[in-house]
Amino acid sequence: MNLPEWLTPNLAIFATIGGVAALAALGVVVLNNAVRSALCLVVCFFMLAFLYFTLNAEMLGILQIVVYTGAIMVLFLFVIMLLNLGPMKSLIQQRDPKMIVGGAMGLALAGMIGAQVLAPLVGVQEPRAPEGFGSPQAVGYSLFSGYLYPFEIASILLMVGIVGSILLAKRRI
Amino acid sequence: MQGVPLIAYLTLGLFLFSVGVVGVVIRRNPIVIFMCIELMLNAVNLTFLAFAKFLPTMTIPGKAPLADAAMSGQMMVIFVMAVAAAEVAVGLGIIMAIFRLRQDIDIDEMNLLRG
């Protein structure tokens, strides 16, 4: 089997993972059933976790699986099934001009960012990060030394989020 | 992983972000809109990590040379994840409250804030 010169095995792996992620992302927007959208998003997040692994960010890849596909998507599916929407009549997407306008807007956005931001970065080929920069040791050391203050702020934010969501969702306090 | 250029990761991130924007604009189900916001946040995370791997030797003028610039990208991703978790918890709580009020969650019919 003769592969073209530029198609290295690593690039083929990246194209496979990235292609599945892109297809799953399209599925989130296109599919009508909310549960199917959520399952597509789970696939997309898994593929993104594998892409983090290919970027040597092992710690964040694991965090992605645990936090996003584990916690956040379970919360999404829980709420979808709790509301028991099913194929509700009013939520079936109808053809309306909003879809065309939205698609055109997305294309315009992608073209604009692509032309302005991506163009100067085309030649960058060599990774320059030090060895093992994504290991749990490195991430943990950085989080608890240089980024201790934002870390504590994030914990306060999460606690406020917990209290706020209980307040919002409870019938009687 | 050698042999994959930075531009490949950035293009994928741009695609995911654009799909998320389009989904927020065209969908009518607020839960799906939330999922599209998550998609946009993840696209940005991917971009952060790609830059953290490929461009860590860039220095900020006036600061010490960021030997740990590769770390700052990862730290940013961790904080984005934390904020996204809080946002999902509060947002889904709001959707539950609205559903209990109106028995319907069509985003085009929501006009409570209109006064």
Would you state the torsion angle of the CA atoms of residues A143, A147, A149, A155, taken in this order, to the nearest 10 degrees? Answer: -40
Q: Residue A57 and residue B74: Cβ atoms within 8 Å?
A: yes
3-state SS, residue A53: helix
How many CB atoms are located within 10 Å of the residue B28 CB? 18
Q: Which of A38, A55, A168 sits opposite B90 (nearest CB)?
A: A168
Burial class for B61, CB neighbours closer than 10 Å (0-12, 13-18, 19+): exposed
Domains of chain B, earliest start first? 6-114 (1.10.287.3510)
- How many Cβ contacts (< 8 angstroms) between chains A and B? 248
Q: Residue A158 and residue B86: Cβ atoms within 8 Å?
A: yes
Q: At which residue do the structure tokens 């290295």 appear?
A: A8
Q: Which of B2, B8, B77 sits opposite A60 (nearest CB)?
A: B77
Q: Which of residues 49-108 of B touch A (CB under 8 A)?
A: 49-50, 52-57, 68, 70-71, 74-75, 77-79, 81-90, 92-97, 99-100, 104-106
Helices B6-26 and A97-113, interaxial angle, to 10°?
Answer: 160
* Alpha-carbon gap: B60 to the closest alpha carbon of chain A (Å): 16
pLDDT tens track for A97-123: 778 888 899 999 999 988 888 887 777
Q: Which of B11, B42, B89 sits opposite A45 (nearest CB)?
A: B42
pTM of the model: 0.88
Residue-level pLDDT, tens digit, chain B, 115 residues: 677 888 899 999 999 999 999 999 888 888 899 999 999 999 999 999 998 888 755 555 655 555 567 788 889 999 999 999 999 999 988 888 888 887 777 777 777 666 5
Q: What is the ipTM of this complex?
A: 0.88
Check residue B85 and report its DSSP letter: H
Query: In the CATH scheme, what architecture does the domain A1-88 have?
Result: Up-down Bundle (1.20)
How many CB atoms are located within 10 Å of the residue B48 CB? 20
| CA angle centred on A44, ends A43 and A49, rounded to 5° | 95
Measured distance CA(B33)–CA(B39) in Å, rounded: 10
Contacts of B56 (CB under 8 A, 6+ apart): A128, A129, A130, A133, B66, B69, B70, B73
Helices A73-83 and A34-54, interaxial angle, to 10°?
Answer: 180
- Per the structure block, which two tokens stand in for B61? 């003028």
Contacts of B2 (CB under 8 A, 6+ apart): A10, A127
